[in-house]
Amino acid sequence: MSIYGTMRTGVSGMAAQANRIGVVADNMANVNTTGYKRSSTQFSSFILNSQAGSYNSGGVETDIRQHVTQQGAMQYTTSTTDLAVNGNGFFVVSDAGGTPFLTRAGSFVPDGEGNLINAGGFQLMGYPLADGDPDVVVNAMAGLEPVNITQNALEATPSTEGIFGANLPSNANIVPAGSLPSDNVPGSVFEAKSSLVAYDNLGNEVVLDVYFTKTAANEWEVSVFDQAEAGPGGGFPYGAGPLDTQTLVFDPANGRLDGASPDGLNFAVPDGQALELDLSAMTQVAADYTVMRADVNGNAPSAVRGVEFSSDGTLYAVFENGDRRATHRVPLADVRSPDNLIATAGNVFSVGIDSGDVTMGFPGEGGMGSMVTSAVEQSNVDLADELTNMIEAQRGYQANSKVFQTGSDLLEVLVNLKR
């Protein structure tokens, strides 16, 4: 056995315990860091070949293991831009140079340009919805852009679609031809009327009058007029004919629209866009005229008041008039071995060989965790465990220093033998 080897082994043990104390220090320093994932020190022996009658001491090696998959506790907040992941997955963020990273630190706030950034200065990335549902590349981060929540211009959206559902009384009287709303004559007869608000290209309100008239057994005429063209008394005759007229045919067996019946109106909103009004939810049963659903898209000019995230990752701009518009959808990314991700400054991770390739998806789909809004994930550090680890590392360091000191004393005895 070599005395020098004994001393080197003691130094190896002290270095290993010093690494452990360093990891404990990092964990304790980040006990309140949002989304921080603790690390631990793993030891493995380093053995040298020994011959019969002698022993060569080796040493110890350390490996730092990250506990990324261990879920931290949820802390709920009042901020609508605070996000947390419950389960598998990471937010995709980028630095100022556009390099993508993964993180669980979801406490985002808008910067001076309106981009959502976390405490590390990384921008939240998402898919834009301006052109409809995004095309997701499941094995790459292509197509993502920084999520921006500001919108300086007052925006108006013309109406293009709507849904109207109501019950028409089956015992209503039949109105003969010549006095129907579609005839647009004074005293036109109708059974029921509802008005809907739509918007033209500039965001002006356009009130649409929708009339329902029974023309035969199980048949109803539906006509829509521009209320601005109404007569002096507020009704017939209108200055212009109906924007559209259809005849709804109901199945007497169940009171729903017959399979061959039209199920909607298609017309151009005055000074606006073509609008499709879905009437498929209409019914005809022995009850009063009752509106069950009436909804038309579009909005008047309005500024953005705030933003909201839904649990599926969709970001909505909330306008001052109460309307909501989806602007982005935030995905989640995951890898096969999250504990082997490469930790980087700013509480973010990079994909490496040991972690496996990245997989993209949306919250709650394909094994991804769910997104929790107005909440952040706390650090998964347990202070009690870290204090215990620190004491163990301190005692281990002291014990290894005794080995080194003993080897030094033996070497001194050996040197003094010639005296």
pLDDT score, position 156: 83
390, 40 in Cβ contact below 8 A?
no
Residue 1 has pLDDT above 80, yes or no: no
Q: Average pLDDT, stretch 151-163?
A: 83
The two tokens of residue 223 are: 């006509």
pLDDT score, position 133: 81
The tally of CA atoms less than 13 A away on the side-chain side of residue 114 is 11
Selected residue with higher pLDDT from 341 and 8: 341
Q: Average pLDDT, stretch 302-316?
A: 88
Q: What is the pLDDT of residues 368-391, one digit of tens each?
A: 999 999 999 999 999 999 999 999
pLDDT score, position 49: 66
Q: pTM for this structure? A: 0.68
**Alpha-carbon gap, residue 323 to 20, rounded angstroms:** 54
- The 8-class DSSP code of residue 148 comes to B
Q: What is the pLDDT of residues 174-194, one digit of tens each?
A: 999 999 999 999 999 999 999
Residue 8 has pLDDT above 60, yes or no: yes
Closest CA to 270 of 224, 236, 221, 211: 224
299, 203 in Cβ contact below 8 A?
yes
**Alpha-carbon gap, residue 68 to 339, rounded angstroms:** 5
Q: Average pLDDT, stretch 275-296?
A: 96
8 backbone dihedrals φ, ψ, rounded to 5°:
-65, -35
pLDDT score, position 46: 75
Q: Average pLDDT, stretch 242-261?
A: 96
Q: Average pLDDT, stretch 38-50?
A: 81
pLDDT score, position 322: 75
- What mean pLDDT is reported for the chain? 90
Q: Average pLDDT, stretch 211-227?
A: 97
Residue range 156-301, CATH number: 2.60.98.20
Residue 407 has pLDDT above 90, yes or no: no
The two tokens of residue 277 are: 């009004």
pLDDT score, position 413: 81
Residue with tokens 């293009």: 160
- The 8-class DSSP code of residue 256 comes to B
pLDDT score, position 75: 95
Q: What is the pLDDT of residues 54-90, one digit of tens each?
A: 666 777 888 889 999 999 999 999 999 999 999 999 9
The tally of CA atoms less than 13 A away on the side-chain side of residue 380 is 15
**Alpha-carbon gap, residue 323 to 161, rounded angstroms:** 15
Domain boundaries, the chain: 3-70+380-418, 74-154+304-377, 156-301
Identify the band that residue 51 occupies on the pLDDT scale cut at 50, 70 and 90: low
- The 8-class DSSP code of residue 67 comes to -
**Alpha-carbon gap, residue 289 to 93, rounded angstroms:** 53
Say what percent of the chain tops pLDDT 90. Answer: 70
Q: Average pLDDT, stretch 392-406?
A: 89
pLDDT score, position 266: 97
- The 8-class DSSP code of residue 191 comes to S
Closest CA to 86 of 330, 307, 311, 309: 311
- The 8-class DSSP code of residue 173 comes to P
Q: Compute CA distances 117 → 24, 81, 93, whole Å.
A: 28, 10, 8
Residue 52 has pLDDT above 90, yes or no: no
Neighbour count for residue 124 (Cβ, 10 Å): 25
In the chain, the amino acid numbered 369 is G
pLDDT score, position 54: 67
